[in-house]
Amino acid sequence: MKSLFEKTPVVPVVVIDDADKAVRVAEALVAGGLPIIEVTMRTAAAADAIAAIAKQVPDAFVGAGTVLSGDHARAIVAAGAKFIVSPGLHADVVTAAEDLSVPIIPGIATATEAQQAWNMGLRVLKFFPAEQAGGVSMIKALASVFRDVVFMPTGGVSAANLKDYLELPAVLACGGSWLTPAKAIADGDFDRITTLASEALAIAKEVRG
């Protein structure tokens, strides 16, 4: 999992209301060079969207975001999610993911939460909400203490500040919803999604080669 992020350190965060469009969205992102896709569990269509992507887009590595409970984790892995992302740190979610042998990236926003995660054996953490919680400077501060931890900032990350985050050695990857605008999905403008993915990948390559 970590090696995948190192190759493509930008993770589209997809909020989708229509599962029938999920495959086209995933195909557009893969075409733009971003095969790691986080579908958030914020809509009723999310589970069906993940199942469709897992079955029909073999080049995609699809996971579930906004996973809030252990039951939630077990259900979404059964649907086809290959990794789990949560907005916060919750022991039941972590335990469920470990029992299922599925990578888990829990969210943290403070040193206290990072320390709790570290003591649970977790070394890849989502920093959320990134911009509101201190952005680049906060990650630098956390990384100075938790030196074997890498972060995936999400929340307020965009094409405008993506480079600033990816320049940090402690940042494994960045997550963002700007890559799949709601209007583009609603309008079926999948070329727009591919373009945004390609632009983000170009920024990542500029920073990391």
DSSP state letters, 69-91 = SHHHHHHHHHHT-S-EE-SS--H
Contacts 24+ apart (CB under 8 A), 66-71: 66/40, 66/41, 66/42, 67/41, 67/93, 68/41, 68/93, 69/93, 70/95, 70/96, 71/96
Instruction: Catalogue the active-site residues.
Output: 38, 126
Q: Which CATH fold topology does 2-208 show?
A: TIM Barrel (3.20.20)
CA distance 84 to 102: 7
Please answer whether residues 84 and 110 qualify as being in contact, where contact means their C-beta atoms are separated by less than 8 angstroms: no
pLDDT of residue 2: 81
Structure tokens at 34: 């971003």
Which stretches of the chain drop beneath a pLDDT of 50? none
- Degrees to nearest 5, angle at CA 94 with 92 and 96: 65
Task: Give the three-state DSSP class for 44.
Answer: coil
CA 75 to chain centre: 19
Q: Does the pTM exceed 0.75?
A: yes
pLDDT of residue 207: 97
Domain spans of the chain, in order of start:
2-208
Please answer whether residues 91 and 113 qualify as being in contact, where contact means their C-beta atoms are separated by less than 8 angstroms: no
